[in-house]
Amino acid sequence: MKLRNIICLMMIGGVMTGCGLLGPSYTKPNTQDPSAFPSRDSLAVTESANLPMMAWWKSFNDPQLNSLIESALKNNNNIQTAIGNVIAAEGSLRQVQFNWIPTASVSGAYNSQSFIGEGYSFSATPAYTLNIFQQIRAQEYAKANYEAMRAAKDAVRLSVISSTVTGYFTLLGQDYQLQLQKQLVDDLGGLLNFAKLQYKEGYISLYQVQSYEQQYDSAKAQLPIIENNIVASQNALRVLLNQNPGDIKRGLKFTELNSYGVIPANLPSQVLRNRPDVRQAEQQLIAANANIGVATAQFFPSISLTGTGGTAASALNGLFTAGSDYWVKSAALSMPILNFGIYGQIEQAKGQYYASYYSYLQTVRSAFASVDNDLSAHQQLTISLDTQKKLYDSSVLAYKLAEDSYKNGLYSKPTLLQNAVTMDQAALTVQQSKLQQLGTIVQLYQDLGGGYGYHNYESANKFGDGHDW
């Protein structure tokens, strides 16, 4: 059948069903993005031109941290799973795209009972059935689903980066905490020993001795907890690296980590458009919109083209020689007239779009709120850290003065030890405060979508058994 006849059939079907049934075109929702975040961080100094590609963790100048990130991005199981989902979505997209190409089946036979002698026969039957309008929207749906899977993979990469940095900082902080806690236990132990001597001499009461003993036991009880936390932190990092339990190599000491000057500056709210979960939510909305068109396009006609062709030969060397040659070509147009179930499918698709629409709005609103919260948290916790450092510096000065007084015979040993305990406790407070401040940095970059594009490759590297992909 000639092409113009096929086009005429399609036009007749289109007129009968109405072209408006193709489904709605996608329109990006207006989220009224703020021009700036209300909680601006006055401590922000880092350039933020391309956040997705920014390897922000390198600002801490710790080669071991950089090595852990490289290893996690290459070997993490969740990332490889997400890559597999991308490959699957790409395969679905290719399947839809190939629907434009006709299919064909081939058959062959051998006949030894024919009155004309033995011979072979061969036939090929091409077939092509297509609803063009549905194909267009189905391709749009598959493309959006593919992009959503890519965004989901980037979200996993972002999470792995943040988890690795947080886990490493936590591990370094726990190492330092264990060191400080041991010093505190030693100093409280010294106080307890002097208290026992003073009790024997009748200078203090048993109640005071018990008070020192409680402080000592309480501090000592924290040691195995911290040691267990260190093991848990190491194993958590090893899982991120796709490794069995074991030790994690350290780089810088916790006190050597510079937690200042690593916050991005001049942040427009539009940077969140590149955040993986925002991208994923929008692609899901696009897919839901296209799905309405897929359902609606069932009202449109489907064009069917079929043909058969074959050859027969009396000998093997003439297997494909044209002993008999024929082609039958036909075109048919079919469309539903009474199928009310389609209306239900359309309503279902519209409901899914409705849910996706408000899910997208919620994702964007949450993104704005989380970044503003992070900016505020970083600034306020940095101020708190600076205050805690001043208190610690004061305790160090007080201890040095007490030490000089003790050497000159003006202070007793218990008084010196009490100043040491105060200094130890202040150091532990600073350690916790700094760890919290570092956490706000990591959280801010995660909520900004920073770094997920670093060394971002689409294909899987290896299977778990070591075979190449």
Query: pLDDT per residue over 258-269, tens digit each?
Result: 988 788 776 677
Amino acid code (one letter) for 72: A
Distance CA 375, CA 378 (A): 5
Q: 55-64, 171-180, 341-350, 424-433: which range is least confident on average?
A: 341-350
pLDDT recorded at residue 130: 61
Q: What are phi and psi of 321, to 5 degrees?
A: -80, 140
The two three-digit tokens of residue 393, written as one number = 């510096």
In b/e form, how buried is each residue of 267-289, taking b as 16+ CB within 10 angstroms? bebebbebbbbbbbbbbbbbbbb
Mean per-residue pLDDT over the chain, rounded: 81
Does residue 171 carry a pLDDT above 50?
yes
- pLDDT class for 303, splitting at 50, 70, 90? low
Mean pLDDT of 173-190: 98
- If one compares 51 and 427, the residue with the highest pLDDT of the two is 427
- The residues near 188 (Cβ < 8 Å, ≥ 6 apart) are 212, 215, 216, 219, 421
Q: Which strands sit side by side in the sheet containing 326-334, from one edge to the other? A: 103-111, 119-130, 302-313, 326-334
**Residue 229 Ramachandran class (φ > 0 left, ψ -120 to 50 alpha, else beta):** alpha
Residue 345's φ and ψ, nearest 5 degrees, are: -65, -40
Q: Give the CATH number for residue 63.
A: 1.20.1600.10
More confident residue, 31 or 19: 31
Residue 326 inside a domain? The answer is no
Place of tokens 């490759």: 457
Q: Does any domain span residue 208?
A: yes
pLDDT for 241 equals: 97
Quickly list H helices, 132-205: 132-201
The total number of structural domains that make up the chain: 1
pLDDT at 378 over 80: yes
Three-state secondary-structure class, residue 468: strand
* 221 occurs within a structural domain: yes
Confidence of residue 362 (pLDDT cuts 50, 70, 90): very high
In a domain? residue 145: yes
Whether 256 contacts 138, CB under 8 Å: no
Written as one letter, the residue type at 68 is: L
Whether the CB-CB separation of 122 and 104 falls below 8 Å is answered with no
3-state secondary structure of 456: coil
Check if the beta carbon of residue 282 is closer than 8 Å to that of residue 361.
no
Distance CA 108, CA 320 (A): 11
Q: How far is it, in rounded angstroms, from Cα 332 to Cα 128? A: 10
Alpha carbons 425 and 329: distance in angstroms, whole number: 90
Q: Is residue 453 part of a domain?
A: no
Tell me whether residue 64 is in a domain: yes
pTM, two decimal places: 0.80
Q: Which amino acid is at 392?
A: Y
**Confidence at residue 180, expressed as pLDDT on a 0 to 100 scale:** 98
Rounded distance between C-alpha atoms, residue 429 and residue 176, angstroms: 12
Please return the burial class of 246, using the count of CB atoms within 10 Å of its CB with bins 0-12, 13-18 and 19+.
exposed
Closest CA to 290 of 141, 419, 116: 141
State the Cα–Cα distance between residues 125 and 326, nearest whole angstrom: 11
Q: Phi and psi (nearest 5°) for 176?
A: -70, -40
Q: Which domain holds residue 292?
A: 24-103+132-300+342-448
What pLDDT, in 10s, does the model give residues 139-162?
888 899 999 999 999 999 999 999
Residue with tokens 């290719």: 94
120 vs 17, residue with greater confidence? 120
Nearest by Cα to 434 from 395, 393, 392, 386: 386
The conformational region for residue 23 under phi > 0 = left, psi -120 to 50 = alpha, else beta, is left
